[in-house]
Amino acid sequence: MNWVAIDFETANAKHSSACAMGIAIVADGKIARRASWLIRPRELHFNYYNTYIHGITAEDVKDKPQFNELWDDFRPFLEGKTVIAHNAGFDMSVLRHLLDEYGIPYPEVQYFCTRVLAKRVWPTLGSYRLNMISAHLGISLKHHDAEEDAVACAEIALRCCNEMGIKSLEKLATKFGITKGHLQAGGYCKPSIAKQKKT
């Protein structure tokens, strides 16, 4: 079980306005490393609601590097790896918009969404928000802290595999008719999800 969980926080409604990124690296079924970075968006505009959610302000990031300055640090964690995120549609969109914003070629990445996986593993939960699933599984979480969210995402993926007695995300996804998303040079492909059969 080897993958990388990511989480972005944004300054405003633009997906290219990332102000923080967190990662959690899973190696041999354990969280082996965790890290986070503050990022200065190209346009230093923070929406009040976004700051209310994650607590990051323009003052916090005004002297931090922009995404393109950090890309050489990020890329080894992502390129050629299996990546997961909770509500991956959002986080992978942020990544794509950042790469587009700075004219950076897309790396080769395959990805899964832990929100989608959790819905299949625990189909009767009332909510599949990251904080609610974390609470259900007893995972400690400071919600909307990029590093904490990435760690919780990584732990949820591990719990999904353990719950089903499966050793890889690929096999877990196949069991539920879920295909991986793919980011690659020149484009991307969103994951697909087979409809659940009614019982």
Query: Average pLDDT for consecutive 10-residue bins of the chain (199 residues)?
Result: 94 97 95 97 96 97 98 94 95 96 95 96 94 94 96 97 94 93 88 66
CA dihedral sign, ordered 121, 146, 17, 133: positive
Domain locations in the chain? Answer: 3-189
Beta strands in 28-165 (DSSP E): 30-38, 82-85, 109-113
**pLDDT of 1:** 76
Topology of the domain comprising 3-189: Nucleotidyltransferase; domain 5 (3.30.420)
CA-based nearest residue to 150, from 18, 21, 24: 24
DSSP 8-state class, residue 145: -
d(CA 190, CA 188): 7
At residue 101, the pLDDT reads: 96
b (16+ CB within 10 A) / e for 141-173? beebbbbbbbbbbbbbbbbbbeeeebeebbebb
Is the pTM value of this prediction over 0.85? yes
